[in-house]
Amino acid sequence: MTEHQLSHGFETLAIHAGQEADPRTGAVVTPIYQVSTYKQDGVGGLREGYEYSRSANPTRTALEECLAAIEGGARGLAFASGLAAEDTLLRTLLKPGDHIVIPNDAYGGTFRLFAKVLTRWGVEFSVADTHHPEKVREAIRPTTRAVWVETPSNPLLGITDLAAVADIAHTAGAKLVVDNTFASPYLQQPIAFGADVVVHSTTKYMGGHSDVVGGALVVADPGLAEEVAYHQNAMGAVAGPFDSWLVLRGIKTLGVRMDRHSENAEKVAELLSGHPKVTQVLYPGLPTHAGHDIAAKQMKAFGGMVSFRVAGGEQAAVEVCNRAELFTLGESLGGVESLIEHPGRMTHASAAGSPLEVPADLVRISVGIEAAADLLADLEQALG
Ligand SMILES: *Cc1c(COP(=O)(O)O)cnc(C)c1O
């Protein structure tokens, strides 16, 4: 990309960054280079550096350049899943004896990676309430190498002050890693607030159509980016060409989708807030939300995820999930279609008995981009 293009707006970058028309045919959309190896012009004579598709593949390169542009980082890297991206990053940053601070509210699979996998390799972690930055400072040790934050968090929609936590991490000589899956770079760009690495499950809003599993890292500093890229190749959990292409296509419409997700979610949050069967609505767009002011400062809108607690406890919450019709009962989030789930028994079952256990009466919804009136009607009937 030229300097001129880098000054373009978000939607322009989403559609064009890394995606020049194909030089040979003029194809407007980046082709799917479904290929493992590349002809060399004499030993070591690589064409544009392509050698073997674990190391680099042109479709993945297009996605990686686009990711870097839309998050405002030095380099983007695409992986086979969000967890593959996380694992690669953590094994780049940490070694046995190192310590990391993690949030008390995070994706269950992220917690499982820390608690059940990395601890076996001698990595230590502490759980902190990152919504109160001073709790992060208290959790830091001399061996702390990184602070991990998710904002908005999954599934409790907690908000962390990115600039404040970046300061605390950097003062301690640690990196700040932000899982930006719930917001997407259209609504929030953590690097602008001091994050060193942004993590995505591109399975969610970036892909946006529930048809691909993928992950991404965007690294702010070119030196650290080089180290992560070395591990991406050395560990091999890369995104395949077709998966890269699907995410690249999804990103083109990210802005318009996020606008509609956010509009619909605001209407849903409003309906739920006034409903007698709902005891609490967790949505950063509500002025009553503890993180509302910080969210308003660091996000362009409040996103499409809403969680709520149901009067009558676990059984009542499960019944709401079972009665929903237009809201499909299923895990995952961020697609054009609305989804509903019970985190305690589904996405966050692996956090049971830990400091990240979620309330049993909690329901999480991913508000899609269907007609808002239909979504409201379905929730009304599901709440009974
Ligand atoms: C889904 C999710 C992940 C894990 O990503 P996968 O693509 O499922 O591996 C990580 N963080 C958050 C916030 C998620 O929602």
* Ranges of each domain in the chain: 3-252, 255-383
Q: What is the CATH number of domain 3-252?
A: 3.40.640.10
How many angstroms separate the Cα of 355 from the Cα of each of 105, 162, 254? 8, 22, 34
Residue 20 DSSP code: P
The catalytic position among 175, 204, 257, 364 is 204
Asked if CATH classification 3.90.1150.10 holds for the domain at 255-383, the reply, yes or no, is yes
Torsional sign, CA 91, 332, 345, 306: positive
Domains 3-252 and 255-383 share a fold: no
Cα 194 to Cα 133: distance, rounded to the nearest angstrom: 14
Provide mean pLDDT across the span 246-261: 98
293-304 pLDDT tens trace: 999 999 999 999
Residue 7: pLDDT band with limits 50, 70, 90: confident
Cα 62 to Cα 265: distance, rounded to the nearest angstrom: 32
Cα 355 to Cα 232: distance, rounded to the nearest angstrom: 31
Residue 199: pLDDT band with limits 50, 70, 90: very high
Q: Give residue 18's pLDDT.
A: 97
Cα 295 to Cα 302: distance, rounded to the nearest angstrom: 7
Instruction: Report how far ligand 1's centroid is from the alpha carbon of 216 (Å).
Output: 10
Provide mean pLDDT across the span 20-47: 95
Provide mean pLDDT across the span 82-96: 98
Task: Give the contacts of 122 (CB within 8 A, at least 6 positions apart).
Answer: 95, 96, 97
Q: Give residue 5's pLDDT.
A: 56
The catalytic position among 105, 179, 243, 378 is 179
Two structure tokens written together for 230: 């070395």
Average pLDDT taken over every residue of the chain: 96
Residue 107 known to be catalytic: yes
What is the longest distance spanned by two Cα atoms in the chain?
74
Q: Give residue 210's pLDDT.
A: 98
Provide mean pLDDT across the span 131-137: 97
H/E stretch holding 4: helix 3-6
Residue nearest to atom 7 of ligand 1 (CA): 82
Q: Which of 374, 299, 305, 312 is CA-nearest to residue 334? A: 305
Q: Which residues line ligand 1 (CB under 6 A)?
A: 81-83, 107, 109-110, 150, 154, 179, 181-182, 201, 203-204, 213, 215
Instruction: Report how far ligand 1's centroid is from the alpha carbon of 79 (Å).
Output: 12
Residue 203 has pLDDT above 70, yes or no: yes
Q: Give residue 6's pLDDT.
A: 60
Two structure tokens written together for 184: 């997407």
Instruction: Report how far ligand 1's centroid is from the alpha carbon of 199 (Å).
Output: 9
Cα 368 to Cα 333: distance, rounded to the nearest angstrom: 9
Torsional sign, CA 237, 243, 246, 248: positive
Instruction: Report how far ligand 1's centroid is from the alpha carbon of 142 (Å).
Output: 29
Residue nearest to atom 4 of ligand 1 (CA): 82
Q: First CA to last CA across the chain, in angstroms?
A: 54
